[in-house]
Chain A
């Protein structure tokens, strides 16, 4: 396996949870909600994945990850949609809550000594034919099944947003909720669906960390991925295709760090890690956040 192939494989692996979370957040933000609590949702999903998988395998792990994330989404929704509470304040609280609940439960359920619980991870599945493509094949098409969920969801979500009535209604709610009401759309119902969908994907993203990567849980293991996903949504200009590419970019930059180390190059890799954030900021400034951000983003 060549260095390039290893690099690409690592890039796709790192990008997978980011892409799933970012695709979900794209839908949520297009409905006008900024889910700062995504970080907590991912963490909750990771913990749910551990609990489910340690009971009855990887499938149950993902089911549990989604279930836990949906509970989180429902609590957030109750505050930001039902009570029209401030989304940033609520998200901050949800992140704290997720960190505390998962950290405490992990120690209560599996012991304090950090005797890391190991669970089996889902094996990569090679896609017939596609995985035979030199270099690119194994990197992109010999991955755990969740990676294929990312590939499949990207065009589906793009098509749904751009070409269906449901997608149009969602965008209307995110841009001009009042006009949407006039058009007979119930903004709160659309927002509920979007938030729950985004939370479920955040949960799967968290599940991926445990079930396809680490094989165990650690306190705060989401490690900022929720915030990175929010960055990716912006970089991808609130478009599912952009989110998918943005996630790949963030994944590639992280993978570069290991590639450089394995090549024995002593470059300051923090500068590489900082690159995507810098690019996102510059892209934001160039396009003007207002041009592409949903107009009603963050408004209750």
Chain B
């Protein structure tokens, strides 16, 4: 299926993506240095700590950065897919939480029944739960015209309270002291990739998922429908071959499944137990990742690694150089605004995703 022209085109595309992400990386580091210097800190030691804590050593890379990248990649792919179809799913955080919850329920409850199949069952359960959670918003949108921006905000809160209730109620560990579930059995955990590192097989899953989503969007009929609906729903609909509503609903469900899978992978690969702060906002960071990746699946992969590195490094920077880790949020926000400002001048291409068709309002000012 992949002949030589195709392979060459793909390689060129990958190079282009890598260059764009590298540019984001350079801008991110420049901005960060600027903010650190503006705060009156020494830039050198801070950057050193950032580097050491993110990409500077095998341990930091595999145990911090790549582990953190896994949920960002999976949820980021979900957000990118939804946004491509102009479904404003900002509920990845909630979908991730219910995914982790479903994985915990399966891994804790069915391990005796399923044995070695517990792990795959837990991952599938997580993806299904994420899809169902997104499905609530999708149904509300299709049936009742409720804007998904609003409903997914509600569903994020509901998922957080659901987890809060479960870990103090039905799923609480047997001693009833801590607000968390028991640890899942070893057989239900994602195995480590190498000894002496926290990197787990979820990383492989994420690195496989990204090219699959990229391929599905670029090369399949379903992917074409998503792109067509996202580019111009009226045109796609009136061309007669695409049911815009159905395409949007499906994109929404798959998006939720990816975020749910992210939660299930996080539970079976990292936390092993369900608790309230299982996700430090991965679902929200995933939105930033998807946006900076210009909704391109391959770019999501690299951007997620970049963000995971920035955030891991920021923690090291706070520890070793006394610079608040939250500084990284400035960089994330500023990068998105820069992309928006840059897109404002463009009329076509991927950048146009950032700038919807003008509503035809003529300003008198």
**A interface residue numbers (CB < 8 A to B):** 34, 36, 75, 79, 83-86, 88-90, 92-101, 103-104, 107-108, 112, 177-178, 181, 186-189, 219-220, 224, 227-228, 230-231, 234, 268, 270-271, 273-274, 277-278, 280-281, 284-285, 288-290, 293, 296-300
Q: How far is the CA of A98 from the CA of B331 in the complex (A)?
A: 11
A residues in contact with B14, CB < 8 Å: none
**CB closest residue in chain A, given B318:** A112
* B355 contacts A271, C-beta separation under 8 Å: no
Q: How far is the CB of B228 from chain A (nearest CB, A)?
A: 19
Q: B185 at interface (Cβ–Cβ under 8 A)? A: no
Whether the Cβ atoms of A298 and B144 lie closer than 8 Å is no
CB distance from A189 to the nearest CB of B (A): 6
Among B323-365, those with CB < 8 Å from A are 324, 326-334, 336-337, 340-341, 343-344, 354-356, 358-365
Known: A100-B326, A300-B358. 18 other contacts (CB 8 A): A36-B149, A79-B337, A79-B341, A85-B341, A89-B336, A93-B337, A96-B330, A97-B334, A97-B337, A100-B329, A108-B40, A219-B324, A219-B326, A234-B150, A277-B154, A278-B154, A281-B151, A288-B146
Known: A79-B340, A186-B364. A289 touches B329 (CB 8 A): no
B140 proximity list for chain A (CB < 8 A):
281, 284-285, 289
Report whether B354 and A268 are in contact in the complex, using a CB–CB cutoff of 8 Å: no
A181→B284 CA distance, assembly (Å): 37
Asked whether B157 lies within 8 Å of A104 as measured between CB atoms, the reply is no
**Cα–Cα, bound, A231→B162 (Å):** 18
| A88:B88 contact, CB within 8 angstroms | yes
B358 & A84 in contact (Cβ 8 Å cutoff): yes
How far is A44 from B349 in the complex, measured between Cα atoms in Å?
Answer: 35
Does B236 belong to the interface (CB within 8 Å)?
no
Nearest 10 pairs of A and B residues by beta carbon: A100-B329, A100-B330, A97-B333, A96-B333, A103-B326, A93-B336, A289-B146, A290-B145, A274-B161, A270-B165
In the assembled complex, B164 has its CB within 8 A of some CB on chain A: yes
Report if B48 contacts A (CB, 8 A): no
User: Nearest CB to that of B362 among chain A residues?
Assistant: A181
Residues of B within 8 A of A230 (CB): 150, 153
Interface majority SS (helix, strand, loop, mixed), chain A: helix
The size class of the interface chain B forms with chain A is 35 or more
Q: How many Å lie between the Cα of A220 and that of B325 in the bound state?
A: 13
- For residue B349, give the distance in angstroms from its CB to the closest CB of chain A: 16
CA distance A186 to B340 in the complex (A): 24
Chain B residues whose CB sits within 8 angstroms of the CB of A281 once the complex forms: 136, 140, 146, 151, 154-155, 158
26 CB contacts below 8 A, A to B, read A34-B149, A79-B340, A86-B340, A90-B340, A93-B291, A95-B333, A96-B336, A97-B329, A100-B326, A100-B328, A100-B330, A100-B332, A103-B324, A103-B326, A108-B39, A228-B157, A231-B153, A231-B157, A274-B157, A277-B154, A280-B154, A281-B140, A285-B140, A288-B144, A299-B356, A300-B358
Asked whether B35 is an interface residue with its Cβ less than 8 Å from the other chain, the reply is yes
Report Cα–Cα, A293/B151, bound state, in Å. 13
Within the assembled complex, what's the spacing in Å between the Cα atoms of A228 and B158? Answer: 12
Chain B nearest CB, measured from A103 CB (Å): 3
CB distance from A272 to the nearest CB of B (A): 9
